[in-house]
Amino acid sequence: MSAPRYSRDHTALLLVDPYNDFLSEGGKLNARAKPVADAVNTLANLRAVVSAVRAAQLQIFYVPHHRARPDDFAAWKHPSPYQLGASRAQVFAVDSWGGEWHPNFQPQAGDVVVQEHWGGSGFANTDLDLQLKQHGIQQVILVGMLANTCIESTGKYGAELGYHVTLVRDATAAFSPEAMHAAHEINGPTYAHAILSSAELIAALQG
C-alpha cells in the first residue's frame, strides 16, 4: 500500500496506552503481550515512529485508558466482563508504576494528554475529538496497545467521526498472533485508510 501524504498541519500521532503495565518487563499485561511484541519488534518500532514524528514536527496526543481504582464499577449497572477482569487485576492502577508511561514515551512540552477513556475507544466519553479539532487535525496515525482492542476501537471511532485513519501494523501488539491478524488483515481494511509498516510510515514522514 502506498502511503498517504501526511501534512504537518493536519496530521497527528495518537499514542495509545503506552503504560508500563503493557510495555515494561514486570507490567501486569506485559507477559501476555510480549510474544507478539517481540515477534514484530513493537518497542523498537514505537521508539522509531515517535522519533520520526517528533522530527517531522507532527503533533502527538496521548490517549490513555482509565487508570484503575478499586471501586470503579461498584455502582455500575453493567460493566463488561472484560472491564471487571481488568478491575480485579487493577490494570494501570492509579498512582502505581504500572499506570505510568513507559520511560521511552514520556510526554514532551507541547504534547496533548487527553482524558482517560473507560472502554476501548479513545474518542468515547473524552475530549479527544475536541482537542484534535482545536489543533486542526484531519488525519490520525494510531500506534500503541493493543491492536484489536483500544487501537481498533479508537480507529473505528475516528473513521466514523470523519478522520483519515492510519494503522501501523508493527508499532502495536496483541495477546495472540491471530488477534494481530484479525486487527490488520480482517477488520482494519473495513475502516482504515492506510495500513503501513513502521518503515513505510517513517519513509512517508521523511518524504
Backbone angles phi, psi at 108, to 5 degrees: -105, 165
Piece of the chain touching a second copy by CB under 8 A; list 14-22, 98-106, 145-153, 199-207: 145-153
Q: Is 200 in the site for a second copy (CB under 8 A)?
A: no
Quick one: which of 2, 95, 108, 190 contacts a second copy (CB under 8 A)?
190
Rounded least distance, CB 14 to a second copy, Å: 16
Piece of the chain touching a second copy by CB under 8 A; list 22-30, 41-49, 94-102, 146-154: 146-154
Quick one: which of 45, 149, 172, 198 contacts a second copy (CB under 8 A)?
149
Quick one: which of 24, 45, 126, 172 contacts a second copy (CB under 8 A)?
126
Q: Which is nearer to a second copy, 46 or 180 (CB)?
A: 180
Q: What CA–CA distances, in Å, run from 147 to 56, 150, 171?
A: 24, 7, 9
The residue with cell 510474544 is 35
Rounded least distance, CB 44 to a second copy, Å: 26
- Report the sign of the C-alpha dihedral through residues 207, 200, 56, 129, in that order: positive
Cα gap 76→7, rounded to integer Å: 42
Q: Which is nearer to a second copy, 26 or 160 (CB)?
A: 160
Q: Is 79 in the site for a second copy (CB under 8 A)?
A: yes
Three-state SS at 5: coil
Quick one: which of 2, 25, 81, 108 contacts a second copy (CB under 8 A)?
81
Cα gap 162→182, rounded to integer Å: 23
Piece of the chain touching a second copy by CB under 8 A; list 33-41, 43-51, 88-96, 114-122: 114-122
Piece of the chain touching a second copy by CB under 8 A; list 15-23, 34-42, 50-58, 111-119: 111-119
CA atoms within 13 A on the CB side of 136: 6
Grid coordinates representing 200? Answer: 513505510
Tally: H helices and E strands in the chain: 8, 6
Size of the site for a second copy (CB under 8 A): 54
Asked if 75 and 52 touch (Cβ cutoff 8 Å), the reply is no
Q: Which is nearer to a second copy, 25 or 110 (CB)?
A: 110
CA atoms within 13 A on the CB side of 40: 23
